[in-house]
Structure 1
Amino acid sequence: MKKNKGILRFFSILGIVIIVGVAAFGYAFLREPEAPSVGLEEPSVMPATEVTQTSEGQPTAESAPEENISKENSQSSIFRIDSSQSEARFTLNEVLEGQPTVVIGKTRQVTGEFRVEPDQSQVEVGEILVNARDLATDNTFRNRAIHNRILDSNTFEFISFGPTDIILLPDEVNIGEEIVFEIAGALTIKGVTQQVIFMAKITPISEMQIEGHAETMLAYADYGIKIPSVERVAEVDEEVLLEIDFVALAISE
């Protein structure tokens, strides 16, 4: 009789542990993610930069104190990303309930600035910020998994890209003509920073507006990101496409 009571007690405790574990797992996925803490529409004007040379002789940008802005730099044109006309997104493939599915997460909470030198010989790109808490796909459950488990955006609210290169422009830049280039920099996701290269293009629409696109493919595991195993989801890509489409408008320093 005592043996039977011991067995019953064991299974009772086991049942409680399982229930608590399932509840905790469900809460981690289903709890309401935190909303963005700030808007990204009005970043401060980017500081001036000093240009150094790499061992290969390529120019790179280093931040300089704002008070050291030279007279020439003070006449530079500053363009700021207009969040209302811009979008950052990620894209990857998965099999959802047996059907091939393209997952796209989007946000307009993206900001950054560009400094164009007076002689239009080069463009300096400031830090680009994306609010991870605002990323959304077409599935509420997936969104909560992304924010609560995959990106942990409650802790790591922003994704940032800090370019390390100055963009050298062609000798002649014409309104409406696209400029294609690569831009290297440090991409930080979920607190992990890796060096990446974006393929980019910009088009001067007018003296007051620049439009552009940049993209890169990366292995999200390099950032410590893991996709939780869910019964309905299979064959998730190991690489993700990151993109930004932007409109940048001229501002006064």
Structure 2
Amino acid sequence: MYKNIFKALLLFAVMLLVSACGLLQEPEAPSATIEAIPLEIEEAEEEVEVEEPTAEAEQPPVEIEEADEPEEMDEAEELEEEVEEPPVEEEEAPAAGGLLIFDISQDASEVRFELDEDLRGSRFTVVGSTNQVAGQLALDFNDLSTAQVGEIRINARTLETDNDFRNRAIQNEILDTGDYEFISFVPTAVSGLPESAAIGEEISFTIEGDLTIRDVTEAVTFNVVATAVSETEISGTATATVLRDTYGLTIPEVPNVANVENEVDLIINFVANAS
């Protein structure tokens, strides 16, 4: 009898612990389908040459006496002046420097995180993923020195693993997605690009930027491998490794989980199409 009472108390204590760490609370739903923040293309500054004045330009202008115009104009001349030319419609200018804007396709893209932990005494790799990623980039395949990458946003409320209890712990306790719905990466530099890229050619480069998780922002470098599938589609993978403790991501103490890895691998498999 006492044994059963002890088991009941232990089970009750575990349930309290689980409830306290957010494993039984339903996480906040996404506020809306994620959308890209429009990329503002930075135009290259053109150098304007200033011509020095010549000796002829320095001389004072010669005044020329104009002949008196006839007081009356011919009727034909008056009619010619009255006819107004139709307005010329201005054509829309292409993107600066021949750049094309590409949007990350959510249907064909995925963001993933991976880290190891001990689960019930066995080493296990936790994988969480979502397709709720958005961003834009601008490319001119003939001149990659002009490439630009906009802010990449991920809806943390949609990250899922293979375990509902873990999902709730991640969203309610670790990432606190009720207050911090989005994870963002703001690029600051793109390095290692070749001069140009041909269709079907694989290229490698790096993107440096500021990664914000919850209320912490740190500099992170993604290694990127990408291919121009066609003139209007590119695909690739961007990878980086961050440390949990850098962002203050503490794992709640729960039964059967131990030795959660501090290093977290971030992987973005993306397909982007010209808009």
Q: TM-score range by the shorter chain?
A: 0.7 to 0.9
CA 114–180 in structure 1, closer or farther in 2 if over 3 Å, else same = same
Choose between structure 1 and 2: higher strand proportion: 1
Name stretches of at least 5 consecutive residues in structure 1 with no aligned partner.
1-14, 53-69
Which of residues 15, 30, 41 in structure 2 aligns to 1:36? 30
Count of aligned residue pairs for this structure pair? 216
Amino acid at match of 1:129: R
Q: Which has the larger radius of gyration?
A: 2
Distance of 1:30 and 1:125 partners within structure 2: 39
Taking a change above 3 Å as real, the CA distance of residues 24 and 76 of structure 1, as seen in their structure-2 partners, is: same
8 Å contact from structure 2 (residues 36, 152) kept in 1: no
Contact residue 142 and residue 196 of structure 2 kept, 8 A: no
Q: Is 2:26 the partner of 1:26?
A: no
Determine the structure 2 residue equivalent to 1:49. 42
Matches within 5 A, 1:62-141: 73=96, 75-117=98-140, 119-122=142-145, 123-141=147-165
2:18–2:24 CA contact under 8 A, matched in 1: no
Unmatched 5+ residue regions in structure 2?
1-8, 46-92
Give runs of aligned pairs for residues 223-242 of structure 1, distance below 5 A: 223-242=247-266
Aligned-partner SS, 1:38: coil
Query: In the TM superposition, what whole-angstrom CA distance separates every residue of 1:131-177 from its partner, at most 9, and x where no partner exists?
Result: 00000000000000000000001110000000001456323411111
> After the TM superposition, which parts of structure 1 deviate over 4 Å for at least 4 consecutive aligned residues?
none
Q: 1:25: Cα distance to partner? A: 4.2
Shift of the alpha carbon at 1:51? 7.2
3-state SS of the aligned residue for 1:137? Answer: coil
The correspondence for 1:217, drawn from 241, 247, 266, is: 241
How far is the alpha carbon of 1:49 from its aligned partner?
Answer: 2.5
Whether 2:186 is the aligned partner of 1:186: answer no
Change (3 A) 1:88 1:31: same
| Cα shift readout 1:194-250 (whole Å, capped 9, x = no counterpart) | 001111111100001000111111111101110111121011101110110000000
- What is the distance in 2 between the residues matched to 1:171 and 1:28? 51
Using structure 1 for the length normalisation, give the TM-score. 0.78
Which shifted more, 167-176 or 228-237? 167-176
Structure 1 residue 74 displacement after superposition: 7.3
